[in-house]
Amino acid sequence: MIHASVSVDRSAIVAPVHRRLFGSFVEHLGRCVYDGLYEPGHPTADADGFRLDVVELVKELGTSTIRYPGGNFVSGYRWEDGVGPRSERPRRRDLAWHSLETNEVGLDEFARWARLTGSEVMYAVNLGTRGVIEALDVLEYANGPAGTTLADLRIANGGTEPYDIRMWCLGNEMDGPWQVGHMSAEDYGKLASRTAKAMKIADPGLELVVCGSSGSGMPTFGDWERTVLEHTYDDVEFISCHAYYQESGGDLGSFLASSLDMEYFISTVVATADHVKYKLRHEKTIMLSFDEWNIWYLEEHQAREAELAAADTDGSREWPYAPRLLEDVYTAADAVVLGNLLITLLSHADRVTSASLAQLVNVIAPIMTEPGGEAWRQTTFFPFSVTSRLARGVVLRPRIEVGSYPTAKHGAAPLVDAVATFDEETGTAAVFLVNRSLSEAATVTVDLSSLGVTAITEALVLHDDDPYAKNTRDDPERVALCAVDAAIAAGVVTVELPAVSWVALAVS
């Protein structure tokens, strides 16, 4: 049996709990939009064609900000294609995902969908194949008051009030050779600076996100951030981080410690951003937008795509509409890792103030749908929805005493990880924990006596005796949250975490 001691001091405040940490991501990719959010013939569809059963699940998930419309898709996207009468919208080939885009859903429809879910839109502009003018045009269309051509066009298309989109991404993954319009850090930094300056002239209150690295393993990681920020530091509020994790080669132990790589990613970007801050003698501090993160079995998808591309010797490969792409089916272990990544994001809420789980529906997503049929929760749905619901007030950094275990990828990793939040106004707290051990349960004591709490109101565990158990269309409730035994005495909670598990405690 593993023994761990967690001590929470109400003075060990990291930062407020930022609601934008619980954002997600909708890209025109596979069945995320078409057959996911949008299915006009579905029994639950509204007048716009949006599935209301999906809307209800998104509300339950607790998303805040939704990044849209990409992703790699945005680097070849013409936003004008998605406005006006649907019957007149062009059909185009999407080079990012080798698919057919019908443009049935565009900015107007998505803004209405976001209102249904209570989410804020975070919009990405195309800096891969377009530039300053196009960014200004979509900004005017989205946010402009009546009296200009593009704002009046929005009004004519049904958007009577400005959408008031506050967060804007200046392109997507421009460091990646796979990106349409990929460019060097020097060239991108100059373009992003010009675009940001123009957008701030139009609306000084915008919050702008410049592209950071699309992974900590990129050969330009660190140097990319330095170069881009040296060009854009005056102009932006955030730099983006993207990270995806998967179990490789049967190494579950390393996979369960994936959050250590996220820790490394965050600390490196923070150090680089602060280096530029002091080099340029700035007072402003750049925050991090972790606007793509998830579990993604990318290696398998890349291998399949390479096979298809190699076989397309005469350019006759089909460009399908809403193909089933990247529809990973997640395990209990995947959900435990996702819960741990949320712990890491909360633990760094002093610098990571926005994050987007990529993606929302069908494509590497917590929500799955079947055309004409049901929608269901993947295993990863549960730690996200519970953390979004319970995390309130401020983040507290706990002191954790526990042993470690060896991993091939990350060295020694602590067997237990945790974070806490506390809402002074309501006197409620939440503690989120993971047990990374492959075989042993962990008895954990959590000292919350400094918070003045006396009762456990919820104690939930995500665990399955088979760490590879999944929720599927045929068995959508195979893995679910269960109650876990926990006791509190004199402000100290005692709880047992099964092997490979994620636990949430709510106390008051």
**SS3 of 15, please?**
strand
The mean per-residue pLDDT over the stretch 199-223 comes to 97
Is the pLDDT confidence value at 249 over 90?
A: yes
Going by DSSP bridges, is the β-strand pair 167-170/207-210 parallel, antiparallel, or unpaired? parallel
Per the listing, tokens 């967060």 go with 167
**Nearest residue to 501 (alpha-carbon basis) of 389, 416, 404, 420:** 416
Give yes or no: residues 338 and 457 share one domain. Answer: no
Q: Which two tokens stand for residue 413?
A: 């990793």
User: What value does the CA radius of gyration of the chain take, rounded to a whole number of Å?
Assistant: 23
The mean per-residue pLDDT over the stretch 257-285 comes to 97
Is the pLDDT confidence value at 303 over 90?
A: no
The answer to whether residue 456 sits within a structural domain is yes
The mean per-residue pLDDT over the stretch 317-334 comes to 96
Is the pLDDT confidence value at 473 over 90?
A: yes
Give yes or no: residues 368 and 410 share one domain. Answer: no
Task: Show the CA angle centred on residue 193, arms to residues 190 and 197, nearest 5°.
Answer: 145
**Residue 160 — very low, low, confident or very high, per pLDDT cuts 50/70/90?**
very high
Give yes or no: residues 124 and 61 share one domain. Answer: yes
Is the pLDDT confidence value at 188 over 90?
A: yes
Give yes or no: residues 377 and 479 share one domain. Answer: no
Q: What is the pLDDT of residue 404?
A: 97
Contact in structure between 322 and 99 (CB atoms under 8 Å): yes
Contact in structure between 145 and 162 (CB atoms under 8 Å): yes
**SS3 of 158, please?**
coil
Exposed/middle/buried for 309, CB within 10 Å: 0-12, 13-18, 19+? exposed
The answer to whether residue 11 sits within a structural domain is no
Say how many domains are in the chain. Answer: 2
Range of the domain at 144: 18-390
The residues that are catalytic are 173, 292
Give yes or no: residues 124 and 22 share one domain. Answer: yes
CA 163 – CA 235 distance, rounded (Å): 22
Is the pLDDT confidence value at 341 over 90?
A: yes
Q: Count other C-beta atoms under 10 Å from residue 165's C-beta.
A: 21
pLDDT digits (tens, 9 = 90+) for 103-147: 999 999 999 999 999 999 999 999 999 999 999 999 999 999 999
The mean per-residue pLDDT over the stretch 193-210 comes to 98
Beta bridge partners of 289: 240, 354
CA 59 – CA 273 distance, rounded (Å): 34
The answer to whether residue 140 sits within a structural domain is yes
pTM for the model stands at 0.96
Q: What is the pLDDT of residue 310?
A: 86
Q: Residue 472: give its domain's CATH number.
A: 2.60.40.1180
Q: Residue 36: give its domain's CATH number.
A: 3.20.20.80
Contact in structure between 119 and 63 (CB atoms under 8 Å): yes
Is the pLDDT confidence value at 421 over 90?
A: yes
**SS3 of 200, please?**
helix
Give yes or no: residues 495 and 368 share one domain. Answer: no
The answer to whether residue 1 sits within a structural domain is no
Give yes or no: residues 449 and 366 share one domain. Answer: no
The mean per-residue pLDDT over the stretch 74-80 comes to 98
Domain stop point among 336, 363, 390:
390
Q: What is the pLDDT of residue 309?
A: 85
Is the pLDDT confidence value at 315 over 90?
A: no
**Residue type at 507?**
V
Q: What is the pLDDT of residue 314?
A: 86
CA 376 – CA 338 distance, rounded (Å): 18
Give yes or no: residues 189 and 105 share one domain. Answer: yes
**Average pLDDT along the chain:** 97
The answer to whether residue 9 sits within a structural domain is no
The mean per-residue pLDDT over the stretch 388-393 comes to 98
Is the pLDDT confidence value at 313 over 90?
A: no
Contact in structure between 276 and 425 (CB atoms under 8 Å): no
Helix pair 332-347, 381-390: axis angle to 10 deg: 30
CA 329 – CA 347 distance, rounded (Å): 28
Percent residues over pLDDT 90 in the chain: 96
Give yes or no: residues 43 and 144 share one domain. Answer: yes
Which segments of 72-225 are extended strands (E)?
A: 92-94, 99-101, 120-125, 167-170, 207-210
DSSP secondary structure, 211-273, as one string: ---S-TTSTTTTHHHHHHHHHHTTT-SEEEEEEEE---TT-HHHHHTTHHHHHHHHHHHHHHH
CA 172 – CA 175 distance, rounded (Å): 9
Is the pLDDT confidence value at 308 over 90?
A: no
CA 39 – CA 43 distance, rounded (Å): 9
**Residue 305 — very low, low, confident or very high, per pLDDT cuts 50/70/90?**
confident
Give yes or no: residues 273 and 325 share one domain. Answer: yes
The answer to whether residue 421 sits within a structural domain is yes
- How many helices (H) and strands (E) in the chain? 11, 26
Q: Count other C-beta atoms under 10 Å from residue 381's C-beta.
A: 25
Domain stop point among 359, 390, 421:
390
Give yes or no: residues 448 and 376 share one domain. Answer: no
Domain stop point among 390, 425, 457:
390
**SS3 of 503, please?**
strand
Give yes or no: residues 374 and 314 share one domain. Answer: yes
The answer to whether residue 10 sits within a structural domain is no
Give whole-number Cα distances, 487 to 6, 256, 386, in Å.
15, 27, 20
The mean per-residue pLDDT over the stretch 483-507 comes to 97
Percent residues over pLDDT 70 in the chain: 100
Q: Count other C-beta atoms under 10 Å from residue 237's C-beta.
A: 18
The answer to whether residue 222 sits within a structural domain is yes
